Amino acid sequence: MATSSLSCSSSLVLILLLVAVTPVPGASERRLPITTTVTKCYPATNATNSTAFSADVLSLLAALPAAAEPTGFATLRSGHAFARGLCFDYAAPSVCHRCLSLAAKNLNLTSGCGANSHRAGIWSDGCFLSYADNNATTASEDALRPRVISGADPQGGSASYSELQRLASVAQFLAAPAAVNDSMLATVNATAVSWDYAARSTTRVLAQCARDRTAAECDRCLEYSALVAASCCWGLDPWRDGVAAAVLGFNCYLRFEVSTERVPLRQRIGMVVNHYPFTTTVLFALVVLLVMGGFGHTDSDD
Ligand SMILES: *[C@@H]1O[C@H](CO)[C@@H](O)[C@H](O)[C@H]1NC(C)=O
Ligand SMILES: *[C@@H]1O[C@H](CO)[C@@H](O)[C@H](O)[C@H]1NC(C)=O
Ligand SMILES: *[C@@H]1O[C@H](CO)[C@@H](O)[C@H](O)[C@H]1NC(C)=O
């Protein structure tokens, strides 16, 4: 399970990072919202009766929030229409219900993609909802990975290539545990993905799959999302305090929540000493010698 994923590329990361897999429910209650809502529409691929299909979709959208409420996930069928709903993270049932109701309202056939779309998906800050004329995800749905980020400056931030790579490695490391988990969800608090002596950055990473996927599909989906997260310049930055960012997919969801704090001076000195015990000892000895030598010199001059 988790250990098998540690074998090759992740082991180095694990040495570098103080990673603690912490499936702690409710750990992210005060996180920043990502206010962008993404809607994706695909035209009908099938000669389904549109009138009948629309009626089926509407009944599914109405039923989905309650169906998903207890567990955070549901897949439903009515006639030729299918719908799926997924609430992100450890959402409380009432929060999940509210989120999917709102998503359903935004996605309904008149205000959403229109009656000519027979496949559609919507991602808000808290949940994902989709409908389709078929239960299998299409290739274009599988390949879709929009990225969304909190705040007004999506292009901002200045993460280095290696910092993005390290965040992506943490996400990759979560793919296997998420895939074999009952709730198909794994989180981790990665500290020291980035650190220096003045500030400490912690990134909570959430990796989650729609629960009707197989473990292999889930793993593959998240690995691809991690790859997309690592590609350049989208504002995800382990030094941007209070940034939240997500990589969206029809079958999986990946989110990063960054927080940074200043390191107190005494701790900073302790860190320097710990990291460079030899250098600091030599420097300390030199300073002592200089100070004592200086006194001796002054004495003999007088
Ligand atoms: C489409 O479905 C509606 C409602 O079920 C039905 O009244 C109508 O006759 C159907 N149209 C076609 C062309 O099958
Ligand atoms: C859709 O397919 C998935 C995976 O094969 C399955 O688990 C799920 O029950 C199906 N949903 C419906 C409504 O048939
Ligand atoms: C078209 O609809 C039929 C009946 O629902 C379904 O069996 C078939 O798989 C659909 N084809 C495509 C390409 O979606």
pLDDT digits (tens, 9 = 90+) for 186-216: 999 988 655 566 778 889 999 999 999 999 9
From atom 8 of ligand 2, which residue's Cα is the shortest distance away?
A: 212
pLDDT at 224 > cutoff 70: yes
The residue type of 194 is S
From atom 9 of ligand 3, which residue's Cα is the shortest distance away?
A: 134
Instruction: Indicate which ligand has the atom closest to the C-alpha of 83.
Output: 2
**In this predicted structure, which of 35-44, 94-103, 164-173, 249-258 has the lowest mean pLDDT?**
35-44
- pLDDT at position 191 is 81
For the chain, domain boundaries = 8-29+151-262, 38-143, 268-301
Handedness of CA 256, 186, 25, 101 (dihedral sign): positive
- The class of domain 38-143 in CATH terms is alpha beta
CA distance 123 to 207: 15
Of how many residues is the chain composed?
Answer: 302
> Would the CB of 49 count as within 6 Å of ligand 1?
yes
Residue 101 CA to ligand 3 center (angstroms) comes to: 27
Report CA 97 to chain centroid distance, whole Å: 21
From atom 4 of ligand 3, which residue's Cα is the shortest distance away?
A: 80
Instruction: Indicate which ligand has the atom closest to the C-alpha of 56.
Output: 1
Residue 249 CA to ligand 3 center (angstroms) comes to: 23
Averaged over 268-284, what is the pLDDT?
80
Angle in degrees, 0-180, between the axes of helices 9-16 and 161-180, rounded to the nearest 10: 110
From atom 14 of ligand 2, which residue's Cα is the shortest distance away?
A: 77
Q: How confident is the model at residue 19 (pLDDT cuts 50, 70, 90)?
A: very low
Averaged over 32-58, what is the pLDDT?
86
Average per-residue pLDDT for the chain: 83
Which of the following CATH numbers is that of domain 8-29+151-262: 3.40.50, 3.40.1350, 3.30.70, 3.30.430?
Answer: 3.30.430
Q: Do the bridges between strand 127-132 and strand 244-248 make them parallel or antiparallel, or are there none, so unpaired? A: unpaired
pLDDT digits (tens, 9 = 90+) for 96-115: 999 999 999 998 766 678 77
| Ligand 1 pocket: which of 46, 48, 50, 51 to mutate (most atoms within 8 A of CB) | 51
> Would the CB of 51 count as within 6 Å of ligand 1?
yes
Q: Which protein residues touch ligand 2 with a CB less than 6 Å away?
A: 75-77, 82, 135, 212
| Ligand 2 pocket: which of 75, 77, 129, 184 to mutate (most atoms within 8 A of CB) | 75
Nearest alpha-carbon partner for 85 in 69, 226, 95, 94 = 69
